[in-house]
Amino acid sequence: MDYEGLLIIIGYSLGIFAVSFIGGRLAVLGSITHTRIQILMSLVAGFILGIAMYHLFPHSLERITGPGNVEKAVAWVVFGMILMIFLLRVFHFHQHDFSTEAGELYDHHDHGEAGGHSGSLVGVAMGLGVHTVTEGVALGTSMRVSSPHEDGGALPALGVFLAILLHKPLDAYSIIGMMKFAGHGARARTVANVAFASLCPLVALASFWGVGLLGLDDGSVIGYVLAFAAGAFLCIALSDLLPEIHFHSHDRGKLIVALLVGIGLAYALYFVESSAVHGTQEMHGH
């Protein structure tokens, strides 16, 4: 049993639960301004985009061995994107902005109706639930890619954890904001908030435990899962970015800068982690 890895993922899980719960509470306490939400979404989407390309996909290529490994990895990336696109198309669950400005802007594009009735709310809950399970699986399996002993002090799966940590409050804000808009009581919102905040940590812990229990640490299965997660993360990032590019012509400069900062942060994290690993390997080689 990798007790150090278990302690790290428990710490990650507690952090994700806390920020998700706080995100849900923000939807109850008051609405964040439209511009701030857009800037935050662009920043987080850029970071998730970077994590998918700099962290998840390269790790999947390292794990998928044999002839045609690149084609296999790309196939699983595409599968992850297709599944998330299907979920988005069916459940319409990825709207984060419930400010007054957003409501006026989306009314003419059939987005403002998404939060008004119980059928839509169930769809959003189901879509965000599957999306959250994907994030939990990505975190749990990423922890198995590299142990804390191999990375020269770098925390394993740190990039994936930070991507979820930054994005999860927006998801919680969405579902609790919709519940508030639909007229659900405080108790129902609190129960939903706790349940949603608990889902990703529980799935991450189950994935971490299950991969080790089934002895899949050294197999290609982890590579396939990471490639699938890379596709899902790409779709999550683009589903935040593309609607805003289509419907918003204001604050272009701020949103582009926020996107580039998010991508830059993901690359910086990748660079730091890679330097730590290479430094450790060179030290062991000597």
Taking 3-state DSSP, the helix, strand and coil percentages for the chain, each rounded to the nearest 5, stand at 85, 0, 15
255-283 per-position pLDDT tens digit? 889 999 999 999 999 888 776 555 544 55
Report the distance separating Cα 37 and Cα 54, nearest Å.
25
Least confident of 54-63, 133-142, 171-180, 276-285: 276-285
Mean pLDDT of 27-31: 70
Contacts of range 66-71, beta carbons closer than 8 Å, 24 or more positions apart:
66/220, 69/223
Give me the residue spans of the domains in the chain.
3-285
* pTM reported for the whole predicted model: 0.81
List CB contacts of 279: < 8 A, sequence separation 6 or more.
152
Least confident of 37-41, 68-72, 272-276: 272-276
Q: Is the pLDDT of residue 41 over 80?
A: yes
Question: Token pair for residue 153?
Answer: 């002090």
Mean pLDDT of 167-196: 89
Report the distance separating Cα 227 and Cα 221, nearest Å.
10
Q: 76 in helix, strand or coil? A: helix
211-257 per-position pLDDT tens digit? 766 656 666 888 999 999 999 999 988 887 776 665 556 677 888 89
pLDDT band for position 138 (cuts 50, 70, 90):
very high
Torsion angle (degrees, nearest 10) of CA 70, 76, 79, 81: -80
Q: Is the pLDDT of residue 49 over 90?
A: yes
Report the distance separating Cα 27 and Cα 168, nearest Å.
13
End-to-end CA distance of the chain: 29
Q: For the chain, what is the mean pLDDT?
A: 81
Report the distance separating Cα 225 and Cα 137, nearest Å.
8
Report the distance separating Cα 249 and Cα 244, nearest Å.
8
